[in-house]
Amino acid sequence: MSYNSCCCRSRNASVSPPSLGTTSKRRTRTTTTSVSSSSSYSLTRRRTALNFHTTAALIAEEGSGENNNNNRRKTVLMTGMSALLSSFAGRTTNSQAAELKGQVKDCENCSNSNTSLREGDMEFFTSYSGLRYIDLREGDLAKVPKKGDVVVVDWVGYTAGYQAKKIESTRETDAPFTFRVGSGEAIPAFDEAVLNMGKGGIKRIEIAGELEEKLGYSRNPGERYNGVGPKPTTFGGLRALDFVLDNKTLKDFNRTLLFDVKLVAIRSST
């Protein structure tokens, strides 16, 4: 699979996202409003340039040949960061989405992949925290991490809001990220992502630039990697990530980050 410029759109390919259950409930569509005309053009241009197929980058790197075209249903477990102490399952209803919109300042201007969907594209869900995500591979839901467990994840990241530069892939560096869930060792988006993942599962997450301080990395370079990961291990990866976070000429939507995260192992705290 080739990754050209930038987008987080997931289009139908030979591998479709597997089912996460047998629920018959309809999923709730993420409600978004348009950004300014210049921002909208920029987002559309970047997302047209990068064909992010339904196969996650990590699946492609594994050389997966699975075909799950008939498995389109999902059971979606959504977690807000307040649920680190007690995780919960649910879906964003219209009233909850309205409440979230009221809690997150200017969230209507978030750079959101759902604003440029085409027929057949997958849609990001939005959790209570504002994190956007798609479950791309079902893991073993009998093995789900909880707060206090140590997890090992592979990840590949992109500066989705600015030229879609590849930050790093742990499949290439052979340096998976290990952290204790809920301890502050990982950025909040990673903590939230793994809480409801089964072992072996792959989740795509999108951190809106407007929510970078809340869900992602500190804008203060001195605090950014102070015991918090994942931190790129290559010079190129650090440069790509730091550029979008530190460049004061960029707009918030340019700081949007996209990660594919695979839950490799769980070491129980009990």
Let me know if residue 88 belongs to a domain. yes
Let me know if residue 3 belongs to a domain. no
Q: What is the pLDDT of residue 155?
A: 97
How does pLDDT run across 186-218, given as a tens digit for each residue?
Answer: 999 999 999 989 999 999 999 999 999 999 999
- Determine the structural domain holding residue 237 and report its residue range: 10-267
Let me know if residue 4 belongs to a domain. no
Residues 204/60, Cβ–Cβ less than 8 Å: no
Can you give the pTM of this predicted structure? 0.65
Let me know if residue 5 belongs to a domain. no
Q: What is the C-alpha to C-alpha distance for residues 128 and 139, in angstroms, rounded to an integer?
A: 22
CA distances from 113 to 47, 81, 168, 235 (A): 8, 22, 21, 28
Residues 116/6, Cβ–Cβ less than 8 Å: no
Whose tokens are 């070491």? That residue is 267
Let me know if residue 147 belongs to a domain. yes
Number of structural domains (the chain) is 1
DSSP assignment string, 73-91: ----B---GGGGSS---B-
Q: What is the pLDDT of residue 112?
A: 59
Tokens representing residue 130 in the block: 């504002």
**Which CATH number covers residue 222?**
3.10.50.40
Q: What is the pLDDT tens value at each position of the chain, 270 positions in all?
A: 433 334 444 433 333 333 333 333 334 343 333 334 444 444 454 544 444 444 455 655 555 434 333 332 222 222 222 222 222 223 334 444 444 444 444 434 445 565 555 666 678 899 999 999 999 998 999 999 999 999 999 999 999 889 889 999 999 999 999 999 999 999 999 999 999 899 999 999 999 999 999 999 999 999 999 999 999 999 999 999 999 999 999 999 899 999 999 999 999 876
State the number of CA atoms in the 13 A half-sphere of 199 facing the CB: 15
